[in-house]
Structure 1
Amino acid sequence: MVELARAAGVAVVTLMATDAWERTREGVVALWRRASPSRADGVEGELDATRDDLLAARENGDDLTEQELREEWAGRLRRLLREQPEVAEELRRILAECDPDSQASGPTTVRMRAEATGSGRVYQAGRDQHITER
């Protein structure tokens, strides 16, 4: 459970800065609504505040704050799993749906480097790429 909570904390905070954030947020709030309804509204607000903190940290190059946010959410999720171990499968499902590459194992880093000389062109993409040249 500790490893799942750690991976989920990393994934949730990482997904805050992606297009999958709204879906992730909805899934995490729904999980809390089922497991601990009295805390769900507070968690919803905390997710939004954490996202604001994360975006500001990334803008300022503050890696320490980003790490602290991941640890904070890992702790919250660990406590939820300790209190309600039956939600572990649902948490795995939410993460798999929001970030299929994660499989609740943490983020993947992709680094691309290219160099073109003369009239050369470079096209790189982490996913779909459509190029129309005339």
Structure 2
Amino acid sequence: MLDSAGTALVGLMVTEAWTQARNGVVALWRRLRPADADAVERDLDEARGELVEAREEGEAGAQTERELAGEWQRRLLRVLRDDPAAAEELQQLLDAARGTLPPESAPGGVQLQARAEGSARIYQAGRDMRVQG
């Protein structure tokens, strides 16, 4: 779980579940590191704005998303070092936020199906795809 918490958090930034996820993370910070909670709240809002803007620019969005996921992964790991038991709380709040989304819009919730016959080829991607011949 901890190795994907940053990715899950950043993935939720562009969904309808963002407010719930953000509030849960800030509440966790308020409990574990109260002096940093207001700054984390601002940083989360700035990160979301940065991601939304980057996604509007297309290709840059994927790079920004990876960078933000790495940044938040490190921050979450540092705060959870103070209270390893809070990892379960973080998992629950991220799962709860994802659970409010329809399956097709949840981060990582893309479902693809394909059927090929004969010598047909199928290329599928839940996000960006580059096919070189």
**TM-score of the two chains, using structure 1 as the length reference:** 0.73
Residue 81 of structure 1 aligns with an amino acid whose one-letter code is L
Deviations 1:54-112 (A, max 9, x none): 0011111111111100111111111111122121111011011101389xxx7233358
User: Which structure 2 residue ranges, 5 or more long, are not aligned?
Assistant: 115-133
**1:49-128 alignment to 2 at 5 Å?**
49-61=46-58, 62=60, 63-100=62-99, 107-111=108-112
Query: What letter matches 1:108 in structure 2?
Result: G
In structure 2, C-alpha distance between the alignment counterparts of 1:97 and 1:13, rounded to whole Å: 15
* Pairing 1:32–2:29 present: yes
Greater shift after overlay, 74-83 or 21-30? 74-83
CA apart distance, 1:5: 2.7
CA contact (8 A) 1:5 1:78 kept: yes
Helix, strand or coil: the match of 2:4?
helix
TM alignment of 1:17-28, pairs within 5 A: 17-28=14-25
Counterpart CA distance in 2 for 1:38 and 1:67 is 28
Which residue number corresponds to residue 44 of structure 2? Answer: 47
Deviation at 1:41, TM superposition (A): 0.4
> Match of 1:89, SS?
helix
Paired residue type of 1:79: R
Q: What's the RMSD between the two structures over aligned residues?
A: 2.1
Give the letter aligned to residue 68 of structure 1.
E
Separation of aligned partners in 1, 2:67 and 2:15: 19
Which amino acid is 2:66 matched to? Q
Match for 2:82: what amino acid?
E
Q: Match for 1:16 among 13, 18, 43? A: 13
Q: Percent identity?
A: 45
Q: Is the contact between residue 81 and residue 87 of structure 1 (CA under 8 Å) also seen in structure 2?
A: yes
Moved over 6 A (4+): none
